[in-house]
Amino acid sequence: MVEGSKRREVTTREWQEFKPRTVRAVKAFGEGREEMLSCQLELSFEPGALITGVRPASWLEGTWLEGTLEGRVGLVPEDRVEYLPALSDSD
C-alpha cells in the first residue's frame, strides 16, 4: 500500500452503479516483481496497456482499482493509469 494514501469510501450501492471504465497505463507496474505478483492480485503492465472494466477497489486502503488486462483480473494502482473518456449512449 502507498503510505499516506487516503481510503476512498464507496458504498455497495455506489459500487454497483459505478460504470466500469477503461484506463491506459502511463507508467509500468510490476516489472521485476514476477515472483511476488504470481501470488498476489496485482496486475503487471507496461505503459500504453489498456485495462478494461475498471472500478474502484473500495475494499482496500489507498487508491487501488480493479480491472482486466489480457483476460486477467487484478489490482491496479490508480497513480499509474489515466482514465480514457467514457463513451456516451449516443456514441
Give dist(CA 6, CA 69) in Å, integer.
26
> In the prediction, which pLDDT does 11 show?
60
Band of pLDDT at residue 19, cut at 50, 70 and 90:
confident
pLDDT in tens, 48-91: 999 999 998 877 777 889 999 999 999 999 999 999 987 655 44
User: Which positions ≥6 away from 11 have C-beta within 8 Å?
Assistant: none
> Which one is predicted more confidently, 91 or 16?
16
Helix ranges restricted to H, the chain: 12-17, 34-38
Q: CA angle 9-13-19, nearest 5°?
A: 90
